[in-house]
Amino acid sequence: MKLAHLIFFILSLIIVTLPRFNWGELGPLKSLVGVKPFDVEQYILYTDYFRGEKNSTVLESPFAYRPLVPFLASFLPYKAFTSINLVNLIFLILTLFPLIGLLRHLNVRCLFFPFLYFTTAHQDI
């Protein structure tokens, strides 16, 4: 795959995810979103726990058994929610490589990402 195509895919992924980054809906979508789900709050607490800002009694199952993204997010200097979403975005970009390889192997010429709208709105870790 040409480098230009890869850069195009990465930039497309970022552009598609930006409108919902950190639950920041654009325009009329804001009224349809509501409050953050319980799982989002738990991952934020988990990231704060790794930063030493919360104690472990705050963590609930099954979120306490999914430590990788909150752990990595705890090293970033941003708010917990932003850090989690940045880590998720990095993992999404890294996932493009095997996805593109699989599509090339299957000789698929058309690509559509219907799931990207939800990628950084909240974390499905």
User: What pLDDT, in 10s, does the model give residues 73-108?
Assistant: 999 999 998 899 899 889 988 888 888 788 778 887
Whole-number Å distance between alpha carbons of 17 and 87: 13
Per-residue pLDDT, 77:
94
**Could you tell me if residue 79 is inside a domain?**
yes
Residues of the chain with pLDDT under 70: 1, 19-20, 23-36, 56, 58, 109-125
Per-residue pLDDT, 42:
86
Per-residue pLDDT, 105:
86
By the 8 A CB rule, do 40 and 122 touch? yes
**Could you tell me if residue 52 is inside a domain?**
yes
**Could you tell me if residue 43 is inside a domain?**
yes
Per-residue pLDDT, 74:
94
Per-residue pLDDT, 73:
95
Distant-in-sequence, close-in-space partners of 57: CB < 8 Å, separation ≥ 6: none
Give the pair of three-digit tokens for residue 21: 């980054």
**Could you tell me if residue 124 is inside a domain?**
no
**Could you tell me if residue 60 is inside a domain?**
yes
**Could you tell me if residue 26 is inside a domain?**
yes
Q: Which domain holds residue 66?
A: 3-118
Give the number of domains in the chain.
Answer: 1
Whole-number Å distance between alpha carbons of 78 and 45: 14
**Could you tell me if residue 86 is inside a domain?**
yes
Per-residue pLDDT, 117:
46
Per-residue pLDDT, 54:
75
Phi, psi torsion values for 7, nearest 5 degrees: -60, -40
Confidence (pTM):
0.73
**Could you tell me if residue 123 is inside a domain?**
no
